[in-house]
Structure 1
Amino acid sequence: MSSSDDIAVLANPRAGRGRHRGVLPAVLERLGAAGRTVRLLEAASAEDAEKVCHRAVTDGVAALVAVGGDGTVHRALQAVAGTGTGFGLVPAGTGNDFAAGTGVPSDPLSAAEAIAAALRDGRDRSLDLARVTTTQGDVRWFGAVLAAGFDAVVNERANRMVWPRGPRRYDLAIVLETARLRPRSYTLVLDGVDRSFDGVLAAIGNTSSYGGGLRICPDADPADGLLDVVVAAPLGRRELVRLKPRLRRGTHVTDPLVTSYRAREVRIDTPGIIGYADGERLAALPLVISCEPGALRLLR
């Protein structure tokens, strides 16, 4: 049993291809400057990680801190969402999109120091999270972006591939899926208004970026009580290639083939798509996504 003064830490030593592995002891030391006991959670799998996080929150820890990338954050968010437990983030992954979208320092040690200072001062920032309900009635939370179009198809293809390893697997998946690119008919209902469309891209953002800085929802604000929805009409392979460089700058939303919306609740469906949120495999569409204001107390 933990104390309510404890800081529970979920760390992924493989995040960012292990490049921050050696910094964890220093991160734990910086967190300890808050004057509380720092406890490293042990988990052998992603499922274990969620379980130990839920257990820590149930035990009443003062804060849960995720050290890793967006995948690690995603696991921890399932435990802290809507609970009032303080959440700290030490970015140590490849993309760190949620950290970037919420103003967390990019340097791991600076982020840890900011968390300790916030705990000492009793300071936190109230942020929105997105709540997803599946057809089975399961509930999942995400902090950054849910992909439900071509990008989700690429992720699904890459996850099925055993070769090559690393980023090249995603590069190959993009090539293979671009060759098969075809528009889909989407059912899209935003706050009860039908916005259904035919297209190749659909993203729902609480923050602005995914994929390590691709600003798919460039105007998303995680404190405005709304989700940003970006969709693209049917694009050919040439048009998709032309649009891709603009994603990093967020200027793709000015293209006449791209449409942006804001909504509190999003209902989305199309056959054959598995939604990916925070880069993690979520569930098959249809999905209902709602913005939950103040669901997260971010320590920073």
Structure 2
Amino acid sequence: MSSRDDIAVLANPRAGRGRHRGLLPAVLDRLGAGGRAVRLLEASSAEEAEKACHRTVAEGVAALVAVGGDGTLHRALQAVAGTSTGFGLVPSGTGNDFAAGTGVPSDPLRAAEAIAAALRDERHHLVDLARVTTTQGDVRWFGAVLAAGFDAIVNERANRMAWPRGPRRYDLAIVLETARLRARRYELEIDGADRSFDGVLAAVGNCPSYGGGLRICPDADPADGLLNVVVAAPLGWRELARLKPRLRRGTHVTDPLVTSYRAREVRIDTPGIIGYADGERLAALPLVIGCEPGALRLLR
């Protein structure tokens, strides 16, 4: 049984291709510097990890801490969203987009020290989260960005590929899907207003970036109570190649082929697309995405 003074830790040693694996003992030491008991959650799969997070939050802990990348974050968020449990993030993945968007220190040891200090001083920062409802009525939460266009198609293709391993799999998936690039009809509602369009890109952001620093929704602010929606009109591979370098800076939104909105609630639908949020496979469209202000008590 958990104690309300405990810090429960969900750690993914494979995050960031294992480059921070040796740091975990030091991270746990930093987290426990304030005298609280620190314990690792045991799980052999992503589904077990999520269930373990739900159990420990229901039992009552001072904080749930995710050590890993946006995938680990995504699992932990399902348990802490909308609760009074404090949440800490020690970024050690390849992307860490939610950490970057919410001011979490990029160095894992500094992030752990900041969590311990926040618990000691009894302070937290309220951060917005996005709440997704599927056609089956299931609810999922995300922290950074939901992809529902070409980027989601690339993710789906890459996940079906057994070869090559690592980032090259995504590079190949981009090449293969670029050759098949075509516009789709998107049914899009922004706070009840019809904004349907023909295009190739649709992203809903609570934070500015995804994919390890691609600022797809550069105006997104996880503390303003709103979501940022970015869509793109039909693009050929030449236009896509022209816009891609601008994603790092977020300047693609000034292009006449790109449109941005701010919204409290978004409904999006197009045939054949699986939405991806925080880099994780979510559900087939249609999806309803709402901003939940202050849904997360972030320790940093």
TM-score class, shorter-chain normalisation, is over 0.9
One-letter identity of the residue aligned with 1:272: G
- Which residue of structure 2 aligns with residue 272 of structure 1? 272
CA distance in 2, matches of 1:16, 1:183: 33
Q: Which runs of 5+ in 2 are unaligned?
A: none
Correspondence 1:176 to 2:176: yes
Match of 2:252 in 1: 252
What letter is aligned with 2:24? L
| Structure 2 counterpart SS, 1:163 | coil
Q: Provide the C-alpha distance between the structure 2 equivalents of 1:259 and 1:33, rounded to a whole number of angstroms.
A: 48
Tell me how far apart the structure 2 counterparts of residues 33 and 184 of structure 1 sit (CA, whole Å): 53
Q: TM-score scaled to structure 2, two decimals?
A: 1.00
Residue 269 (structure 1) shift: 0.1
Q: Which residue matches 2:82?
A: 82
Letter of the 2:285 counterpart: L
Separation of aligned partners in 2, 1:227 and 1:184: 23
Letter in 1 for 2:176: L
CA distance in 2, matches of 1:267, 1:34: 44
TM-superposition CA deviations, 1:102-151 (whole Å, max 9, x none): 00000000000000000000010001000000000000000000000000
Between the aligned partners of 2:295 and 2:71, the Cα distance in structure 1 is 19
1:24 is paired with a residue of what secondary structure? helix
What residue is the counterpart of 1:140 in the other structure?
A: 140
User: What SS class does the counterpart of residue 180 from structure 1 fall into?
Assistant: coil
Structure 1 equivalent of residue 210 of structure 2? 210
Q: Report how far residue 285 of structure 1 moved.
A: 0.0
* Overall identity of the aligned pairs, in %: 88
| Matching residue's letter, 1:40 | L
Corresponding residue for 1:58?
58
| Cα distance in 2 between the residues matched to 1:60 and 1:68 | 22
- Number of the residue aligned with 1:192: 192
Separation in 2 of the partners of 1:132 and 1:113?
Answer: 32
Instruction: Give the SS at the match of 2:248.
Output: helix
How far did 1:34 drift? 2.2
CA distance in 2, matches of 1:43, 1:252: 40
Distance 2:33 2:184 in 1: 52
For residue 45 of structure 1, what is the aligned residue in structure 2? 45
User: What is the distance in 2 between the residues matched to 1:68 and 1:138?
Assistant: 25
Match of 2:120 in 1: 120
1:237 aligns to what? Answer: 237
1:36 aligned partner: 36
- SS of corresponding position for 2:217: coil
Tell me the SS of whatever aligns to 2:188.
strand
Shift of 1:35: 1.6
Question: How many positions carry a matched residue from both structures?
Answer: 300
**Offset of residue 33 of structure 1:** 1.0
Give the counterpart letter for 1:24 in structure 2. L
Q: Which residue of 2 aligns with 1:295?
A: 295
Q: Gaps spanning 5+ residues in structure 1: where? A: none
Amino acid paired to 1:118 = A
Q: Which runs of at least 4 in structure 1 moved beyond 4 Å after TM superposition?
A: none
Quote the Cα distance in structure 1 between the aligned partners of 2:8 and 2:241.
Answer: 44
- Specify the alignment match of 2:15 in structure 1: 15
Distance between the aligned counterparts of 2:181 and 2:243, measured in 1? 14
1:33 aligns to what SS in structure 2? helix
Task: Say what the alpha-carbon RMSD is for the aligned residues.
Answer: 0.3
Structure 2 counterpart of 1:58, which letter?
Answer: A
Once the 2 structures are TM-superposed, how far is the Cα of residue 84 of structure 1 from its aligned partner?
1.2
